[in-house]
Amino acid sequence: MEADKTNMIEDYVAVHTDDVSLLLEELMAETENITGRSFWSIGKVEGKLLQLLIKMSRTQRAVEVGTFTGYSALVIAEALPEDGILTTCENSQEYADIALQYFNKSPYGRKIKLKLGPALQTLRNIPANSEDFVFIDADKPSYGDYFDEALRILGPGGLIFVDNVFWRNKIFKKKITNENAKAIAAFNEKVRQEDRVEKVMLSIRDGVYLMRKK
């Protein structure tokens, strides 16, 4: 019954949200064909929310942690201004190759700089106060470190958007045994206690944390 209700709400929300570009739909289908993991990609509702946030905040420079096959990177690039730049971090050559193929197909792909390697290393090479927007969506045990780096590289008023903060609803269990869920629960508590950001947690898809650096 509860699952039916969740599906009903998600279907209704999807119908009342703009569609994404045809290229993004193509990439989602190809991601499923090649990897069988298209559920890793944020999808259209979260994607549209990201695009609106990028536009409303007039973001020029964005950073993404976790490119995968490039769906969310292209979502962000489509919303950035002509001279906007997205730095996106991925440590898998296989996924990066698919992403690069799609960045080349898109008129917005030239705004994207893909950094192959451990995301934390890439973030540490970004100057302080130089970015407007950080999207975190990679390995869950490192979320706390990515958050610390995001606070360093963002200027005042910069936004942080974090995916999967419900970790497939496993964080709601009385006794959390799943390692990723434990890491996410600890991350959520770290953010809750952090006074340097204004924050709201949203029950969209697998849960999203949206923050603004004060």
| Smallest gap from residue 8 Cβ to ligand SAM (A) | 24
Extended strands (E) in the chain: 61-65, 85-90, 112-116, 131-136, 154-163, 197-202, 208-213
Mapping DSSP to helix (H, G, I), strand (E, B) and coil, where does residue 122 land? helix
Q: How far, in Å, CA of 211 to CA of 214, rounded?
A: 9
Residue number with CB closer to ligand SAM (89 or 197): 89
Q: Work out whether the CA dihedral 196, 167, 14, 7 comes out positive or negative.
A: negative
CB neighbour list of residue 37: distance below 8 Å, 6 or more residues apart:
31, 68
Residue number with CB closer to ligand SAM (37 or 214): 37
Contacting ligand SAM within 129-148 (CB under 6 A)? 137-139, 142
Q: Is 41 in the site for ligand SAM (CB under 6 A)?
A: yes
Q: How far, in Å, CA of 72 to CA of 86, rounded?
A: 11
Q: Is 91 in the site for ligand SAM (CB under 6 A)?
A: yes
Q: Which one of 24, 80, 90, 197 is in contact with ligand SAM (CB under 6 A)? A: 90
Q: Is 209 in the site for ligand SAM (CB under 6 A)?
A: no
| Smallest gap from residue 159 Cβ to ligand SAM (A) | 16
Q: How many CA atoms lie within 13 A of 195 on its CB side?
A: 0
Residue number with CB closer to ligand SAM (57 or 141): 141
Q: What angle do CA 57, 59, 60 make, to 5 degrees?
A: 160
Q: Is 159 in the site for ligand SAM (CB under 6 A)?
A: no
Q: Is 40 in the site for ligand SAM (CB under 6 A)?
A: yes
| Smallest gap from residue 156 Cβ to ligand SAM (A) | 26
Binding site for ligand SAM (CB under 6 A): 40-42, 66, 68, 71-72, 89-92, 95, 118-119, 137-139, 142
